[in-house]
Structure 1
């Protein structure tokens, strides 16, 4: 095994550290009720106007789904409750800002560059490269977590935003508790995060699925057109642009793959870049990361249930993408194969710039080069995966199940440990 290789051998039977045990033991009990979430948000912000009330139904289904996941432990429940409160707070602050400044509704969002693609398919790396160009507006993790600042916490010129400091402290503590997480997905506060966080203010997002098994919410989400929630997210984007330009955004989120129609309805002049990777490789990366985090979120880690859930989830993403891919105009969209991107990132960047009609200036090239040099693949070590050994998955059967996707986009299978 290579010196930087990381093998997580206790995914199904985790051996907890003392720090992890203490965090679980000190988690406060929470009540998964609509009023408990909204009361906490009102108390924290001093505000009371949540805007249109239709979000309440979705919030109730979120919370009921969390309660129905009996495998969640106290830290997992507290984390999900805390996220719901955080989104409710952000919604209150956004609605208050929009009410005070109606001119926000007239702010233009001009020709955004939107990256869609499976999780673990290079979307995070690609969006951060593009975000290095100062002509493009992006949303770092700290801003995604708290998009609207309070009046009391306006950033002082030359000083760190208080929201950045809170995010840095929180994620620093999280990574201290789960030290192998950065090797799978670093959550650096200054790096660009997913714009799906903006739809979460309207309580419509697949984000809870990364932390629990919300079957009721997942099925509800499948049954609903997401256009109105994309429109709500766009309103928040207008507020962020009003607070700080420029007005041309670069964004990314995997659920865009299953929401190409709502995406293009909301941003009809967008340039859409869709990354494609072997879904078997994506699955083993995603569920290994989730299983590793579940040691602090769940009473026990059922690796087989986890694998079933995310196999189904990825298939839904893929089938929706195949169904709707041709609804995105050819002159505004680009398919990028993961292998091609990893082999020659600079050429892919040039193609994206050309498609977006954005000049690749000397300054932009220098910034892209600097980002690539300081963020090589495997910067924090490389995790060694074992899809069959850790999760009991029949890789050949999985490839057959995803055959429709391989065929549609000429995706090349990657070598999987234990595969004949």
Structure 2
């Protein structure tokens, strides 16, 4: 593979700063450059109404946020044509799905009376193992989770009805999207999977209200970051709950397990929205998480940006992690101890069963030997290193050391017994 050095199932990306584009990447960029998009709330909402035949978006306070998302896209001068196409499609999908959520709630008002009973909610720094923990808990099918194919199309349409040739068109669409992403960024699957059955973050439901920190992963959007961090997110978390109520109505009442790293900086709102939840907060040396985030951003920049500049993610994401973890330190005390499990990575590695038993105990869910065996199998089969892993190099790719990053997080180590991992 051009620009990559492969050692068995271990990959080292040697062209981070000066990427060598594949033919598939060049073709995608050329094709996207021929398209144009009107990034405005008005245009996106009209396109969604035309596509769905629906008109009621519910509360209209989201329009201000959607317009700000669009303005931030226009302000980021280094987004590639592929990014513009992806962001337009994403914004349109959220607008369409919001229309469908409002429509089904209007037709079935009893949806809003559905109880979201004692969910497990996982939070932790991005790129710290929360995805694996979510998938592990979801392997116990007594919990209801959100697979990617459902997250990206929560309310099925007539076109999504099963046929003899296609038992799940929503799954098939998700698979097509995953294959397209894999063709453009073939090493991304070793960093973060988005296959149809991958268990998704609940941020996909928050995004129907056009809020959350989601767009920060797609573009450099300091204006949105400041707006989001200075505005109460109660309305968006209420919309997350509404999405869970719709999915429960459509597919059954099992207790939910959901996750989003962003919850770490929204603990009071999370607590207010889901007061009977079991809160599982993961903790890990921020250096490892940040190293992964910076590297993912730089690798993806070859197709999502017009330049691969290590200073972009370094300048944005170290500070962003600091805000996330500062808010966790500040607000952690709002969570009841009887409903909270703090998971420390070094302890998880030594004895995951002990932590699983604590989670299940606080969630009042029996954990017998049969279930534990099933979880062990998932843990073994889906270990992040089983399919392959990518080696990240801070000093080579970002001219920064682990200690350069760690010095910003003394407050976090002072508050939680997190062990240093990255030297």
For the aligned pair, the TM-score class normalised by the smaller chain equals over 0.9
1:14 maps to 2:19: yes
* Residue-pair matches, total: 416
Match of 1:77 in 2: 84
Q: 1:67-109 CA deviation, whole Å, 9 max, x = no partner? A: 0000101111111111110100110000000000001011111
Task: Give the secondary structure class of the aligned counterpart of 1:336.
Answer: strand
> In structure 2, do the counterparts of structure 1 residues 346 and 377 end up closer, same or farther at CA, with 3 Å as the change threshold?
farther
Segment of structure 1 superposing worse, 313-322 or 42-51: 42-51
Q: Which moved more, 1:405-414 or 1:106-115?
A: 405-414
Deviation at 1:333, TM superposition (A): 0.2
Contact 1:135 1:246 in 2 (8 A): no
* Counterpart for residue 60 of structure 1: 67
Structure 2 matches for 1:131-170, cutoff 5 A? 131-155=138-162, 160-170=167-177
Displacement, 1:164?
0.9
* Residue pairs, 1:6-405, within 5 angstroms: 6-27=11-32, 28-155=35-162, 160-405=167-412
Q: What is the aligned partner in structure 1 of residue 3 from structure 2?
A: none
Structure 1 unaligned blocks of 5 or more:
none
- Tell me if the contact between 1:304 and 1:392 (Cα under 8 Å) persists in the aligned partners: no
Displacement of 1:301 after TM fit?
A: 1.5
- The SS at the match of 2:209 is coil
- Checking the alignment, whether the CA contact within 8 Å between 1:136 and 1:246 is kept in structure 2 is no
Q: How far is 1:157 from its partner? A: 10
CA distance in 2, matches of 1:384, 1:373: 21
Deviations 1:254-284 (A, max 9, x none): 0000000010100000000000111111001
- Alignment partners' CA distance in 2, 1:290 and 1:318: 20
CA contact (8 A) 2:340 2:362 kept: yes
Which of 49-58 and 30-39 deviates more?
30-39
Separation of aligned partners in 1, 2:141 and 2:392 = 37
What are the superposed Cα offsets for residues 117-156 of structure 1, whole Å, 9 maximum, x if unpaired?
0111111111111111121111011111111111342346
Unaligned runs of 5+ in 2: 1-5
Indicate conservation of the 8 Å contact 1:230/1:263, yes or no: yes
Q: Would you say the 8 A contact 2:329–2:412 is kept in 1?
A: yes
Q: Does the aligned pair in 2 maintain the 1:105–1:238 contact within 8 Å?
A: yes
Moved more, 104-113 or 386-395: 386-395
1:370 Cα offset (Å): 2.4
Counterpart-to-counterpart distance in 2, 1:314 and 1:373: 30
Preserved contact between residue 114 and residue 270 of structure 1 (Cα < 8 Å) = yes
Q: Is the 8 A contact 2:262 2:324 kept in 1?
A: yes
CA-atom RMSD in angstroms: 1.6
Q: Sort the Cα spacing of 1:48 and 1:320 in 2 relative to 1 into closer, same or farther, 3 A.
A: same
Distance in 1 (CA, whole Å) between partners of 2:117 and 2:169 is 29
- TM score, norm. by length of structure 2: 0.95
> Structure 2 CA distance, aligned partners of 1:80 and 1:393?
31
Secondary structure, aligned partner of 2:143: coil
TM-score between both structures, scaled by the size of structure 1: 0.96
Contact 2:44 2:91 in 1 (8 A): yes
- Deviation, 1:224, is 0.5
CA gap of 1:338–1:156, structure 2 versus 1, over 3 A, is: farther
Alpha-carbon distance in structure 2 between the residues aligned to 1:201 and 1:153: 20
In the TM superposition, residue 394 of structure 1 has moved relative to its aligned partner by 4.0
Contact 2:9 2:389 in 1 (8 A): yes
Q: 2: distance between equivalents of 1:377 and 1:293?
A: 19
Q: Distance in 1 between matches of 2:62 and 2:385?
A: 40
Distance in structure 2 (CA, Å) of the matches to 1:158 and 1:32:
37
- Give the CA deviation at 1:24: 0.8
